[in-house]
Amino acid sequence: MIIGIDASRANRKRKSGTEWYAFYLIKQLALIDKDNQYILYTDEPLAPDLVNLDPLGDWINEELYDTDGYQIIRSPHNNFRGKVLTWSFGYLWTHLRLSWEMLFHRPDVLFVPSHVLPLIHPRRSVVTIHDVGFERDDLLYPKSSLGPNDKFKKRLVNLLVRVFTRGRFGANVRDYLTWSTLYALKRASKIITVSKFSQQEVIDVYKKELPLKCFEKINVIHNGYSRECYKVIDDQPAIDKVLNKYGITRPFIFYLGRLERKKNTPRLVEAFGMMQQKIQGYTLVLTGRASFGYEEVEYMISEYRLDSKVLKTGWVSEFDLPYIFNGASAFIFPSHYEGFGIPLLEAMACNVPIAASNVAPIEEVAGDAALYFDPASAQSISDSLFRVLTDEKLANDLRAKGLARVEKFGWEITAAATLEVLKKA
């Protein structure tokens, strides 16, 4: 069987949640599956970390192609190859370029590790829907337009989208998320959600619009984490070296994720500012890219005069993240909405006590290994942080529970379950 995978997100240089999900599934499928052939579809040549899928093989540092034009991939079972689908436009690669490929050279099964299924696709197609938070709160997501920067072309694209969707949707981020999710639910042969919460959300949001059969094909498969990267590190000089690289001083509270309204980062900064009245000496380290609502983060930093207390590192490579986790006094995860929350697993694996939002998906992941707070209340966040930082018995209890709970998760577990879905698609 030939399994095609949309690897465009896995191939991005600066990965976050969905990109890491796609990346590690590919890595694990290469390890566990010797029976099927794989084609990785990308919009640009594969990076070395996807070319070299065999951990025991020689490292390839250059782009090599076979006589059929496929990019050569070194995999444990020699059953992976890449196909670069070049596209001169900066948008609609999946719906147009990947669709063109599916029209003439479709695999037996297509796996898209996100919600965007190409317009033309094999009958056996599998899509992962990570969450539908955009349906729950408009204020957490941008309403920016999609398409070219030229105003005339932008209006033309919007008009074409309106015609194509019979007036229901426009060419903007919010409409695109809804349309592409509905399209995947209708057309994919199997759907994966990363939590039971996301599965139920999909049903609750779209049950009035779609028939029951669209939801019967949903499979819940939890995300994992890299056991090789995220673990307890006892090498303090190595930890200090990484901390110094980013200007991080101990003690500090660690946050990993986009700096945005959805992740509740502005209120986290507010809560940290409030905590200064009870306990000082800590730095709040915010690691991640700025996104929708970032200006609110800057406002809170200014409002509470925290310029010297809040450190924004920007995006950090996965090689350095485990050291930052291991150097932290606590990990904070204040999201309004999540589909899963991979950083929770990484924190547990690194033996860091966690304070987190009391929302269903986070509780599904962290269980009893986190101290929960109300994400809508800066006071609740502040009080929980104070408890984790000052109650040594509580912190040690959370650490122990985290190490035990994280054993239930792993990318190898995720990949094995995903492979079974691909076989049955």
Residues 96-129: tens digit of each pLDDT: 999 999 999 999 999 999 989 999 999 999 999 9
149-191: per-residue pLDDT in tens? 777 767 777 777 787 787 777 777 788 889 999 999 999 999 9
Provide φ and ψ at 189, rounded to 5°: -80, -30
Options 3.30.43.10, 3.40.50.1220, 3.50.50.60, 3.40.50.2000; CATH for 236-408 is 3.40.50.2000
Mapping DSSP to helix (H, G, I), strand (E, B) and coil, where does residue 355 land?
strand
Helix (H), strand (E) at residue 111? strand 109-112
Contacts 24+ apart (CB under 8 A), 208-217: 209/182, 210/182, 210/185, 210/186, 214/185, 214/186, 215/185, 217/188, 217/189, 217/190, 217/191
The answer to whether residue 402 scores a pLDDT higher than 80 is: yes
Q: Write down the mean pLDDT value for the chain.
A: 93
Structure tokens that stand for 169 in this block: 């949707």
Q: Regarding the domain with residue range 2-224+411-424, which homologous superfamily does it belong to in the CATH classification?
A: Glycogen Phosphorylase B; (3.40.50.2000)
256 beta partners: 287
- Ordered alpha helix ranges (H), 2-87: 17-32, 48-51
The answer to whether residue 401 scores a pLDDT higher than 90 is: yes
d(CA 2, CA 396): 48
Instruction: Report pLDDT for 293.
Output: 83
Return residue ranges of the chain for CATH 3.40.50.2000. Answer: 2-224+411-424, 236-408
- Determine if the pTM surpasses 0.95: no
199-251: per-residue pLDDT in tens? 999 999 999 999 999 999 999 999 999 999 999 999 999 999 999 999 999 99
d(CA 302, CA 284): 14
